[in-house]
């Protein structure tokens, strides 16, 4: 297992696996980003493939890598353990949904090689194994504006059924 240190993270999906990227393969995932070319070179030396992207708001260029872990193994229905998520003191973070974009983390991953049928060559697979949060930029969901207060909810009690069937 290898570790990437002091990574800025975005879009962590660490509590419940998501199938946003592939409907048939729910997974946990996290995106690591950097603007630092030395850190990008470290990632490449570690066998990762950073992609050059552009921030839509600022126009600033950055490099990113998405690491993930499939929720299911080759055994049908056998769910894997989620990536370990801990704080700087190695205490478990019970609700990883509080990790917001811009948090700084150490990332543990496992690298393996496999033959890619699509590319017809040996390629590397990087599996997310754990996240250690060093600087937490807490995520707090914004309330939805879809509904407005309309008053107390009306409660309708169920009607009791008769003891016997009148159609017998």
Higher pLDDT, 79 or 29: 29
Q: What was the pLDDT predicted at 109? A: 96
Q: What was the pLDDT predicted at 34? A: 96
Higher pLDDT, 160 or 9: 9
pTM across the whole model: 0.78
- Which letter, b or e, does each residue of 106-126 get, where b requires 16 or more Cβ atoms within 10 Å of its Cβ? bbbbeeeeeeeeeeeeeeeeb
Q: Is the pLDDT score of 31 beyond 80? A: yes
Handedness of CA 102, 107, 113, 115 (dihedral sign): negative
Q: What was the pLDDT predicted at 114? A: 81
Q: In 3-state terms, what secondary structure has residue 63?
A: strand
Here the tokens at position 66 are: 């998405």
Here the tokens at position 139 are: 């995520």
Which CATH number describes the domain made up of 2-135?
2.40.50.140
Show me where the domains of the chain are located. 2-135
């Amino acid at each position: 297992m290898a570790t990437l240190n002091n990574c800025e993270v975005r879009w962590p999906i660490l509590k419940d696996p998501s199938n946003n990227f592939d409907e048939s393969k729910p997974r946990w995932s996290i995106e690591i980003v950097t603007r630092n070319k030395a850190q990008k070179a470290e990632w490449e030396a570690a066998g990762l493939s950073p992609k050059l992207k552009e921030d839509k708001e600022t126009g600033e260029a950055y490099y990113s890598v998405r690491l993930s872990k499939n929720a299911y193994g080759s055994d049908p229905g056998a769910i894997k353990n989620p990536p370990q998520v801990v704080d700087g003191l190695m205490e478990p973070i019970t609700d990883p949904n509080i990790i917001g974009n811009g948090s700084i983390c150490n990332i543990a991953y496992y690298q393996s090689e496999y033959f890619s049928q699509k590319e017809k060559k040996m390629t590397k697979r990087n599996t997310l194994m754990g996240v250690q949060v060093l600087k937490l930029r807490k995520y707090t969901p914004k309330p939805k504006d879809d509904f407005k207060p309309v008053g107390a909810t009306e409660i309708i009690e169920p009607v009791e059924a008769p003891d016997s069937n009148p159609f017998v």
